[in-house]
Structure 1
Amino acid sequence: MKPVPVAECNDAWEFLDQVRARPGMWVRGGSLRELEVMLCGYGVALLVHGIGEDFAFGPRGRFSDWLNERFGWSLVLGWAAAIEAHADGEPALEMFFRLVEDFRLTAPGLTVS
């Protein structure tokens, strides 16, 4: 994946591709919770600016719903905490990106660039 300036990303999916390519640049210490907070802010910015992006990573978004339906995980503390709780030694950030790929392939009606 070729790094591009974040201003050239068209949606959260393209941004996540950049994070995956260079996680150390975007997420201090590989903290999945930090990425979750960053994406929560992204979702708030979409709302504030009236942008109608199909955003899946909010606290009550389609990614959380998918994790709950697929694995039966509690999402009370958010998707980052749920993934960390079930990582079984796998780095949580790596597990997140593996799950995101599965989500991209299996979530019905998902709009992905």
Structure 2
Amino acid sequence: MPRQLHELQDVHDLLDEIRLRPGIWVRGSSLQHLDSMLIGYRAAMSVHGVDEDFPFRAPGAVSPFDQWLCHRNGYESSLGWAIQIEREAEEAGTPAIELFFSLFDQYRADRREAAR
């Protein structure tokens, strides 16, 4: 069931909402647009001094999600997660937004497993 923005706790909650209705949140279901949204989210975190687990772009560093994706794919890439996943989705003939959420679920599962 969709939640109101004030009910969301972090970027993971936001992404769970986007998953429910990606067409409302992300123009054309483009991962590059989603990446831009997440860059804005990160900027707002910095402006407001919010410290949370944020697996995407970190200023001056490779993001945890990018590192995980490169490890999963077995190669390094400077393209960033959005372009990498869009290319992989095109080759597989699957919608990129669906592949992103599938991969992000795997990433979160791997992080939970590593934390045990």
| TM over 0.5, shorter chain | yes
Instruction: Please tell me whether Structure 1 or Structure 2 has the larger radius of gyration of its CA atoms.
Output: 2
State the identity %: 44
Aligned mates of 2:41, 2:110 — CA distance in 1 = 23
**Match runs of 1:16-95 below 5 Å:** 16-58=15-57, 60-87=62-89, 88-95=92-99
Tell me the CA shift for residue 57 of structure 1: 1.6
Q: TM-score, normalised by structure 2?
A: 0.86
Stretches of 4+ moved more than 6 A in 1? none
Alignment coverage as a number of residue pairs: 109
Counterpart contact for 1:83–1:95, Cα < 8 Å: yes
How far is the alpha carbon of 1:46 from its aligned partner? 0.9
CA RMSD of aligned residues (A): 1.6
For 1:20 and 1:75, the matched residues in 2 are separated by 26
In structure 2, the residue matched to 1:6 is 5
- Compute the TM-score of the two structures, normalised by the length of structure 1: 0.88
Aligned mate of 1:105, from 96, 109, 113: 109
Residue 7 of structure 1 deviates from its aligned partner by: 2.2
Secondary structure of 2:37's match?
A: helix
Larger CA deviation: 74-83 vs 92-101: 74-83
- What letter is aligned with 2:74? G
Distance in 2, matches of 1:73 and 1:40, equals 24
Write the distance in 2 (CA, Å) between the matches of 1:75 and 1:12: 24
Displacement of 1:62 in angstroms is 0.8
